[in-house]
């Protein structure tokens, strides 16, 4: 058992795409002065990504979801304002509606150069963005135990975030195409189940020892123990276009971990299901988002996602109250009722076509919607 109750602190990382306000296409080669300006303002809280058309931000460590959300609002506004000074805008979506990956340029940084040499076209195709939520859990063995248990809920969290229905100008038929691109990478998908932190470290050492990878940062599972911080890191999600949706996913992740810890203190555990079954629900979340149904393996039937969210809200109600994030947890209902970013992007696209727009004009309308929704209004 853990020696002390985890603090369940939270930090959120987001990756944005940089678009030209005139063409609405990605900015493949922004001037270095833009990133320098942002680094001068925020230090290492803002950093370049593998592709020059991407910008990553990270909040500080917070004890409340509300504080983390407020900082995300500040970061989005500041990065958006800096980009605007160059005639650019940022969009918070996991793919761009029509950009071509072949047109993107990479960032000249040693870590990225090593990755590019190793992974080649698999990495160059990664014109995708994600959101990573870190929840602080000091006890290493507890991090592993909770990671094993919370995999059951990854499809639920993933479905709430879908924001990548387009790829290279095509309507993919999926609510989240990002995962299809990312799974071409090695060391992705669900993590194996480990019995302890020591076992996890032995598996990482089996890769770092021969020099296959440098460290555990090169393991990109849907959820992982962070290699840099004493946190459990949620990585399965698309990036949410609206900040309030991001806060909801972070709140659900944190409260689910709290619920599982609470059960653990009473010698109870969430029932284990094989990875192949969780993967099936992940696929359903990727394909249908919140409009579909996931498999309830206990009942042995498909259950509409809206019903599952109600069950989830009830399941974490006490934890949401204790952690001060009831509002954010309940907002999951709103996401289901009005749809995720993917749903709204598709609605914008088809509404434009129905109004007589050409296909490219309709895709541009989607970018305009993303620009508008990415920066929170006052």
Q: What is the DSSP string of 93-137?
A: -SS-SS--GGG--B---HHHHHHHHHHTHHHHT----BEEEEEE-
pLDDT above 90 covers what percent of the chain? Answer: 88
Beta strand 54-58 pairing with 10-20: antiparallel
Distance separating alpha carbons of residues 49 and 55, to the nearest angstrom = 6
Taking only the tens place, the pLDDT of each residue in 211-237 is 999 999 999 999 999 999 999 999 999
* Average pLDDT along the chain: 95
Mean pLDDT of 177-183: 95
3-state secondary structure at position 342: helix
pLDDT at site 114: 80
Q: How confident is the model at residue 166 (pLDDT cuts 50, 70, 90)?
A: very high
For 263-309, how does the pLDDT look when each residue is reduced to its tens digit (9 = 90+)? Answer: 999 999 999 999 999 999 999 999 999 999 999 999 999 999 999 99
DSSP state of 215: S
Indicate the pTM of the whole model: 0.95
Close Cβ partners of 283 (under 8 Å, ≥ 6 residues apart): none
> What local confidence, expressed as pLDDT, does residue 3 receive?
61
CA distance linking residue 72 with residue 70, whole number of Å: 5
d(CA 223, CA 250): 13
**Residues paired with residue 47 on neighbouring β-strands, in sequence order:** 56
pLDDT at 1: 44
Q: What is the mean pLDDT of residues 246-261?
A: 98
Determine whether domain 10-374 maps to CATH 3.30.590.20. Answer: yes
* pLDDT at 122 (0 to 100): 82
The arithmetic mean of pLDDT across residues 33-37, rounded, is: 94
Across the chain, the runs of DSSP E, i.e. the strands, are 10-20, 46-48, 54-58, 88-91, 131-136, 166-167, 170-171, 188-189, 220-221, 223-225, 231-234, 293-296, 301-304
What band does 125 get if pLDDT is binned at 50, 70 and 90?
A: confident
pLDDT in tens, 70-117: 999 999 999 999 999 999 999 999 999 999 999 988 887 777 788 778
Render the burial of 320-345: b for 16+ CB within 10 Å, e for the rest: beebebbebbebbeebbeebbbbbbb
| Alpha-carbon span 255 to 230, nearest angstrom | 18
Helix (H) or strand (E) holding 210: none
Distance CA 378, CA 69 (A): 14
Residue 112 confidence (pLDDT): 79
Mean pLDDT lowest for which of 122-126, 129-133, 251-255, 316-320? 122-126
- pLDDT, residue 371, reads 98
d(CA 63, CA 324): 10
CA nearest neighbour of 157 among 252, 278, 284, 287: 252
User: By the 8 A CB rule, do 101 and 181 touch?
Assistant: no
């Amino acid at each position: 058992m853990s020696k002390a109750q985890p603090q369940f602190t939270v930090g959120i990382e987001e990756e944005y795409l940089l678009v030209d306000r005139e063409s609405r296409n990605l900015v493949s080669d922004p001037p270095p002065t833009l990133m320098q300006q942002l680094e001068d303002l925020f230090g290492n809280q803002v950093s370049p990504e593998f592709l020059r058309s991407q910008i990553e931000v990270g909040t500080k460590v917070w004890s409340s979801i509300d504080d983390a959300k407020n900082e995300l609002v500040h970061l989005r506004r500041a990065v958006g304002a800096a980009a605007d000074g160059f005639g650019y805008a940022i969009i918070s979506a996991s793919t761009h509606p029509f950009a071509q990956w072949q047109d993107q340029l990479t960032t000249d940084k040693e870590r990225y150069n090593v990755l590019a040499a190793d992974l080649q076209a698999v990495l160059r195709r990664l014109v995708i963005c994600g959101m990573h939520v870190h929840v602080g859990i000091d006890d290493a063995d507890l991090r592993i135990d909770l990671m094993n248990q919370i995999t059951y809920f990854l499809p639920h969290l993933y479905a709430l975030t879908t924001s990548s229905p387009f790829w290279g100008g095509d309507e993919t038929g999926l609510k989240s195409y990002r995962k299809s691109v990312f799974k071409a990478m090695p060391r992705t998908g669900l993590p194996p189940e480990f019995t302890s932190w020591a076992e996890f470290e032995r598996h990482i050492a089996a890769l770092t020892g021969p020099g296959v990878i440098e460290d555990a940062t090169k393991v990109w599972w849907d959820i992982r123990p962070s290699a840099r911080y004493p946190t459990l890191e949620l990585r399965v999600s698309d990036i949410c276009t609206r900040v309030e949706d991001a806060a909801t996913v972070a709140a659900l992740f944190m409260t689910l971990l709290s619920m599982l810890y609470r059960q653990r203190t009473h010698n109870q555990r969430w029932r284990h299901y094989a990875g192949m079954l969780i993967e099936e629900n992940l696929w359903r979340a990727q394909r249908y988002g919140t409009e579909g149904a996931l498999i309830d393996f206990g009942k042995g039937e498909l259950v509409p996602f809206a019903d599952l969210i109600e069950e989830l809200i009830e399941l974490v109600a006490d934890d949401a109250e204790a952690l001060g994030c009831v509002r954010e947890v309940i907002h999951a209902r709103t996401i289901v009722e009005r749809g995720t970013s993917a749903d709204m992007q598709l609605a914008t696209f088809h509404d434009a076509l129905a109004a007589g727009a050409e296909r490219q004009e309709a895709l541009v309308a989607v970018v305009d919607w993303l620009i508008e929704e990415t920066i929170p209004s006052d």
